């Protein structure tokens, strides 16, 4: 039975399609090694531009997605930072070596995918170097030379914090930093090292002097104890010798006494036995006693001599011992004095340094206090000046207001006076002049009150009936006297003020000159005299 080709082709087609999709699935499933980051970009769910995977794998959708790898291998960057300005305006050189790499933190990996994908190691290192240089200069600018050189932990902590923060923005992180050396152009760090070395040397010298002093004291103490013990042993030896000699003398004396007793007994027996040899016995006894006394004296003299020699030796030894003790004491006191001198010298230097520090601090405090007091005094003077200026301004404003009100009142009075006079406006100046006459008269009186007047000249019209006693008559007489005044001034060569007016010239050519009206003088009898003209 033949099998139709239709079902077979269908099976083959299904197998081929399944194989095709399986091959695509196998080919598009990408695995990520541990030293790389897999970046899938293209059509990504959410608002992200890429998806980063570290370890494991993921399926990359054909046509919609693509992928790339970023290496996690560390990069070493040598930073030759020179002439960076520190906090005290001292430029320092801080060569260092940084080890960086792409971070595996998800957020930072996404930054690396967005900013570093497709760049080679040289380009990434260049960007990182610029960031590190800027942050290193920023950190050094906030620290002094002492903090940079001595507190390395604080310096490295600030470097880690600032550099890491900026590197994370482009997807990198700092793995390690190695500060190779710190130098400065002015030699400040070297001076700090020399000062520290000098302080260490001085401290060591003080400790050595103290140790030498303790050693000298111990040596002198041991020597003194040794000498004392030697003297004690020597004294005990001499005491033993003297005791033995004393026992020896006692034994000799006892033996001699026993011998004398035996001899006496023999002599007594001999006297009894041999009567005829009594004379010889007496002579022999006398010789024996003499010999005994001589020998006893010799032994006693030898004993005394030995005692004296022993005492002399003891005295010599005691003198030598005292001399050695004095020498040891002197050396010990010299060593103590030298050690005390070194200690006092070190204390002196320390005290000088402390006093300089206290004095500088006091001077700083005094300077700040003076500055504060000067600022306070300046502020007080400014406020006083401002208050005086305000008071002066207020006084002037008050005076101006008062003057303005007075002038307004005068203007109102003048206006009222003009209204009262009506059409006789010519009376206004006369009334104002009358108002000022008391003051003018008072001033004139002041001007002539100290003058001695011999004669008074009075100008009058000579007509008592003209009403001269009234004000109008007075003014009329005053105006009438102006021409003689002008004539008198002309003759005297005096120029009158413009306020007195001018007199018209009435002389005609060829005519005789009119004589001016002469004033009259009041004589002693009350009459009128003609005043002489100049």
Burial class (CB in 10 A: 0-12, 13-18, 19+), 243: exposed
Model confidence at 516: pLDDT above 60: no
**109 or 13: whose pLDDT is higher?**
109
- CA 107, CA 43: separation in Å to the nearest integer? 19
Q: What is the mean pLDDT of the chain?
A: 78
Q: Once rounded to an integer, what is the mean pLDDT over residues 420-435?
A: 74
Contact 44/51 with Cβ under 8 angstroms? yes
Model confidence at 72: pLDDT above 70: yes
Contact 90/148 with Cβ under 8 angstroms? no
Contact 136/80 with Cβ under 8 angstroms? no
Model confidence at 352: pLDDT above 80: yes
- CA 521, CA 419: separation in Å to the nearest integer? 44
Model confidence at 460: pLDDT above 60: no
Contact 252/266 with Cβ under 8 angstroms? no
Which tens digits make up the pLDDT trace of 222-270?
Answer: 877 887 887 778 778 778 888 888 888 888 878 877 877 777 777 777 7
Model confidence at 508: pLDDT above 70: no
Model confidence at 305: pLDDT above 50: yes
Which tens digits make up the pLDDT trace of 316-337?
Answer: 878 887 888 788 788 878 888 8
> What band does 128 get if pLDDT is binned at 50, 70 and 90?
very high
Nearest to 38 by CA among 26, 50, 24: 50
- CA 360, CA 364: separation in Å to the nearest integer? 6
**399 or 429: whose pLDDT is higher?**
399
Which tens digits make up the pLDDT trace of 74-85?
Answer: 999 998 888 888
pTM of the predicted model as reported, rounded to 2 decimal places: 0.36
Least confident range of 148-152, 345-349, 510-514: 510-514
Q: What is the model's pLDDT at position 166?
A: 92
Report the percent of the chain where pLDDT is more than 70. 81
Superfamily holding 73-186: Band 7 domain (3.30.479.30)
Q: What is the model's pLDDT at position 470?
A: 57
> What band does 34 get if pLDDT is binned at 50, 70 and 90?
confident
Contact 95/57 with Cβ under 8 angstroms? no
Q: What is the model's pLDDT at position 4?
A: 59
**126 or 271: whose pLDDT is higher?**
126
Contact 490/483 with Cβ under 8 angstroms? no
Q: What is the model's pLDDT at position 150?
A: 76
């Amino acid at each position: 039975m033949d099998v139709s080709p239709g079902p077979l082709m269908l099976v083959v087609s299904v197998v081929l399609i399944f194989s095709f999709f399986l091959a695509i699935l196998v080919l598009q499933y990408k695995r990520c090694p541990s030293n790389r980051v897999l970046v899938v970009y293209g059509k990504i769910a959410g608002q992200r531009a890429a998806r980063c995977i570290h370890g494991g794998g993921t399926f990359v959708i054909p046509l919609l997605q693509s992928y790339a790898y970023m290496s996690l291998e560390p990069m070493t960057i040598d930073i030759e930072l020179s002439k960076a300005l520190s906090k005290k305006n001292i430029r320092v050189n801080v060569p260092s070596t940084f080890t960086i790499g792409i971070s595996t933190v998800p957020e930072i990996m996404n930054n690396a995918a967005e900013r570093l994908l497709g760049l080679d190691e040289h380009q990434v290192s260049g960007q990182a170097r610029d960031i590190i240089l800027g942050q290193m200069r920023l950190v050094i600018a906030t620290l002094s030379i002492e903090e940079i050189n001595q507190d390395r932990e604080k310096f490295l902590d600030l470097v880690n914090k600032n550099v890491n923060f900026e590197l994370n923005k482009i997807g990198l992180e700092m793995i390690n930093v190695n500060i190779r050396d710190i130098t400065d152009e002015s030699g400040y760090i070297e001076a700090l090292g020399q000062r520290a070395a000098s302080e260490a040397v001085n401290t060591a010298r003080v400790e050595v002097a103290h140790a030498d002093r303790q050693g000298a004291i111990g040596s002198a103490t041991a020597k003194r104890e040794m000498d004392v013990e030697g003297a004690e042993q020597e004294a005990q030896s001499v005491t033993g010798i003297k005791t033995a000699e004393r026992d020896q003398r006692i034994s000799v004396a006892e033996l001699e006494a026993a011998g004398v007793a035996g001899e006496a007994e023999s002599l007594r027996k001999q006297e009894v036995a041999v009567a005829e040899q009594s004379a010889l016995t007496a002579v022999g006894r006398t010789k024996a006693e003499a010999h005994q006394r001589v020998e006893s004296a010799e032994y006693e003299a030898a004993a005394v001599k030995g005692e004296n020699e022993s005492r002399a030796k003891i005295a010599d030894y005691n003198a030598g011992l005292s001399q050695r003790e004095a020498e040891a004491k002197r050396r010990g006191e010299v060593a103590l004095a030298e050690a005390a001198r070194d200690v006092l010298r070190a204390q002196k230097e320390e005290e000088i340094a402390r006093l300089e520090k206290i004095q500088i601090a006091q001077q700083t405090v005094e300077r700040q206090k003076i500055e504060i007091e000067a600022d306070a005094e300046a502020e007080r003077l400014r406020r006083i000046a401002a208050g005086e200026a305000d008071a002066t301004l207020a006084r002037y404003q008050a005076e101006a207001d008062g003057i303005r009100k007075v002038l307004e009142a005068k203007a109102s009075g003048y206006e009222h006076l003009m209204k009262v006079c009506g059409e006789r406006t010519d009376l206004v100046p006369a009334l104002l002049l009358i108002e000022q006459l008391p003051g003018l008269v008072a001033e004139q009186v002041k001007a002539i009150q100290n003058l001695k007047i011999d004669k008074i000249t009075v100008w009058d019209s000579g007509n008592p009936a003209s009403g001269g006693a009234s004000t109008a008559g007075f003014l009329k007489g005053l105006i009438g006297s102006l021409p003689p005044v002008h004539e008198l001034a002309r003759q005297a060569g005096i120029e009158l003020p413009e306020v007195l007016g001018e007199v018209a010239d009435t002389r005609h050519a060829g005519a005789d000159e009119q004589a001016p009206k002469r004033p009259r003088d009041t004589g002693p009898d009350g009459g009128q005299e003609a005043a002489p003209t100049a």
